[in-house]
Amino acid sequence: TKGFQVAIDGPASAGKSTVAKLVAQKFGYIYCDTGAMYRAVTLAALQQKIDLNDQVKVAAIAENLPLRFETGDPQQVWLGDQNVTQLIRTNEVAQNVSTVAAIPAVRQAMVKMQREIASQNNIVMDGRDIGTTVLPQAPVKIFMVASAHERARRRYLDNQARGIATQSIEELQKAIELRDQKDSTRKVSPLVQAADAIRLDTTALTIDEVVNEIIKKVKDN
């Protein structure tokens, strides 16, 4: 039987994953971070020193990706026997992931995996094209946005809280805007709000307020 689906899309660092995890927890649904999947392909290609413009080689990696998610807080991401939970969050991966995610055959392989995961579970899935492409029938679709400055500020505070060396807010904002621009202008499944998605501007909202808003939408269904 097909499960219930909540699709959460939006630009980089809008708080999608934080909120998606909490909504999933509330209902006992699975949480699927599709950005982590594109990041894992990117990391594997970088580790194997593949030219990221070589679409055939990058696609081959995506099609044979030994990717595994392990429940935990935070959720652990594995590539074969390598724990890549931290490695997929580096600047190097962030700077290259949009190039990899624009390759049609890479997207095809990821979307297939994502639909398989969704077919077996009640799920909250976050990404860029969940409501438009991966799960177009999802009964609840949210498009989360916030000003680029606010998103950079949140990322900065988050980095500090985690004790990671962080770029300045201005540098983070530039990187975020560049990634959004690449994701919004690619040919296949660009970052765009689905016609039937609810737009949530979180610039002035707390995490709890956003989570409660989405919980209401799920309960209404």
Per the DSSP assignment, residues forming a β-bridge with 5 are 123
101 annotated to a ligand binding site: no
Note whether 17 and 125 are within 8 A (CB): no
Provide the minimum distance between the beta carbon of 99 and ligand C5P in the complex, in angstroms, as a whole number: 8
Residue 115's φ and ψ, nearest 5 degrees, are -70, -35
Provide the minimum distance between the beta carbon of 75 and ligand C5P in the complex, in angstroms, as a whole number: 13
Nearer to ligand C5P, 159 or 220 (CB): 159
Note whether 20 and 8 are within 8 A (CB): yes
101 contacts ligand C5P (rule: CB under 6 A): yes
Residue 16's φ and ψ, nearest 5 degrees, are -55, -50
In 3-state terms, what secondary structure has residue 56? helix
12 annotated to a ligand binding site: yes
35 annotated to a ligand binding site: no
Q: Which of 5, 98, 132, 202 binds ligand C5P (CB under 6 A)?
A: 98
35 contacts ligand C5P (rule: CB under 6 A): yes
Per the DSSP assignment, residues forming a β-bridge with 140 are 6
Nearer to ligand C5P, 73 or 220 (CB): 73
129 contacts ligand C5P (rule: CB under 6 A): yes
Other beta carbons within 10 angstroms of residue 45's beta carbon come to 23
Residue 11 DSSP class: S
Note whether 135 and 125 are within 8 A (CB): yes
CA dihedral 48, 158, 135, 219 (to 10 degrees): 160
Provide the minimum distance between the beta carbon of 200 and ligand C5P in the complex, in angstroms, as a whole number: 16
Nearer to ligand C5P, 171 or 219 (CB): 171
Provide the minimum distance between the beta carbon of 64 and ligand C5P in the complex, in angstroms, as a whole number: 19
User: Which residues in 133-192 contact ligand C5P (CB under 6 A)?
Assistant: 179, 183
CA dihedral 108, 112, 114, 115 (to 10 degrees): 130
Cis peptide before 74 (omega within 30 of 0): yes
Nearer to ligand C5P, 38 or 69 (CB): 38
The region of 48-56, 128-136, 149-157, 198-206 touching ligand C5P under the rule CB under 6 A is 128-136
168 annotated to a ligand binding site: no
Q: Which of 8, 15, 39, 45 binds ligand C5P (CB under 6 A)?
A: 39
- Enumerate binding residues for ligand C5P (CB under 6 A): 12, 34-35, 38-39, 97-98, 101, 127-130, 179, 183
